[in-house]
Chains A and B, each alone.
Chain A
Amino acid sequence: MFNALITIIRRDLLVAFRRRAELMNPIIFYVIVVTLFPLGVSLDQEFLSKLAPGVVWVTALLAALISMESIFRQDFDDGSVEQLFLSQHPPTLLILGKVIAHWLVTGLPMLVIVPLMALLLYIPSQAITTLFLTLLIGTPILSLIGAIGVALTAGLRGGGVLLGLLVLPLYIPVLIFASGAVSAVINGMSSEGQLAFLCAGLILALILSPLAISASLKISMN
């Protein structure tokens, strides 16, 4: 069963690698938006570092939303979605694999560029680890929740607008806890509570969202 998970992750990574230009979009969006803030708002160090957690996380949220749309679109076009349900392995497992692969190509790069963000927004060094941790725990939640929305709207024309309306409200708790954690550290407080909430959210999403995605895909296939 574990093999099936690895197999689908490898397959999706291979497909992603062959379409890498398309996948760069959300990351480029992420970097550009964050870069624009110091230019557009203020170069004041203290002001920026206060703003930083919110900026990084709001941008991450929107980048995740943009990137999500691609997760099942091709599978719907080429008929692979049907094949997921005919597999010997549970569809939920394969779906989890797809989300993990998608996170590896869209969420992970955000973690890699955290030091750059920190530099641009004057995030104090003691908060960088927390920012990294919140992204590490938070972005998989965004992928898991986003995939439910995409699966639901995949069969619709102009599903993109609906996707935002459906998914963004569900992203808000992640935003609050994640940027709250980073702000807390910047202000010299502990971020344990917020991080614990994020972890709980991730575990919940890991367990429940594959079921929801599978059910949503079935509805969209109909």
Chain B
Amino acid sequence: MRTQEVSVLKAHDLKCVKGSTELFSNIHFQIESGEALVVEGRNGSGKTSLLRILCGFNYPAEGEISWCGTSIEQHDEYQQQISYIGHASGVKLDLTVLENLVYAQRLVGSDFDENEVKEIIRAVGLFKQRNVLARKLSAGQKRRVALARLQLEERPVWILDEPLTALDKTFVKEFEMVLKNHLENNGMLIVTTHRDLVLPTEVMKNINLSA
């Protein structure tokens, strides 16, 4: 799935308006494969809106986003590069942990391998709960299911909205390792978080929407 070529995601002069209020304007950035963008800002400053715009779900009021030189609206395969975890993490409450991941992997189109799925469930510490309905899991455990999905989908661009919510400290450490690995494998990461995320500073870029 992953290419060794360097991809570039570039945002030019983005502006986002919700209703009659302007959330942010004049946002520029450029990140390449292997780099992370940490989006900061107060509550309501438009972090989630920015991520959704980057996913192509919403459109910016002004400005343009390009993927490898082509505007994402014209790019046919851009959305197939993305794994997105939002506030609603895409975990189906009426499916078990295992079913959630199996179906997620099949629908995203990567090759299905049950052992790989089980391995990742073990890695996120949910092996004992693999046959438990997601409805019965705690908030942190549900989050873990979503983060396990990320690793299964094997997509180059990870767009994560507050991925650390409800996670315990030990798991945050483990998850940082996963993110580091992803970046080392030429992945791209765009993340919002209110907690400190320890990533290699040389590949980390920051953008503050409240500034």
Using CB atoms and an 8 Å cutoff, list the residues of chain A in contact with chain B. Answer: 3-4, 7-8, 11, 14-15, 18-19, 74, 77-80, 82-83, 85-89, 94, 218, 221-222
Contacts and interface: CB of A to CB of B under 8 A. Distances in A.
B69 to A, nearest CB: 21
A95 to B, nearest CB: 12
A18 to B, nearest CB: 4
Instruction: Please report whether the interface of chain B is mostly helix, strand, loop or mixed according to DSSP.
Output: loop
7 contacts: A4-B109, A11-B103, A15-B92, A82-B88, A85-B79, A86-B108, A94-B107
B13 to A, nearest CB: 20
A78 B99 contact: no
B90 A82 contact: yes
Contact of A78 (B55, B79, B82, B92): B92
A222 B58 contact: yes
Contacts of A78: 88-93
A79 B108 contact: no
B94 A4 contact: no
Contact of B55 (A15, A19, A82): A82
Give the 9 A-B residue pairs with the shortest CB-CB distance, closest first.
A88-B109, A79-B88, A18-B94, A79-B90, A11-B103, A15-B94, A83-B90, A7-B106, A221-B57
B109 A87 contact: yes
Interface string B166-192: 000000000000000000000000000
A221 B48 CA distance: 13
Interface residues of B, number: 29
Contacts of A74: 92-93
A9 to B, nearest CB: 11
B63 interface: no
A66 B109 CA distance: 33
A7 B103 CA distance: 7
Nearest to B103: A11
Interface in B92-111: 92-95, 99, 103-104, 106-110
Contacts of A7: 103, 106-107
B80 interface: yes
Given A85-B57, A222-B59, A19 B90 contact: no
B95 A86 contact: no
Contacts of B104: 83
Contact of B92 (A80, A218, A222): A80
A14 B57 contact: no
Contacts of B94: 14-15, 18-19
B80 A86 contact: yes
B184 to A, nearest CB: 23
Contacts of A87: 80, 107-109
B125 interface: no
A77 B86 CA distance: 11
A51 B103 CA distance: 46
A19 B94 CA distance: 8
B92 A86 contact: no
Nearest to B149: A83
Contact of A86 (B82, B103, B106, B110): B82
A175 B94 CA distance: 35
Contacts of B110: 88
A80 B57 CA distance: 13
B15 to A, nearest CB: 16
Nearest to A91: B79
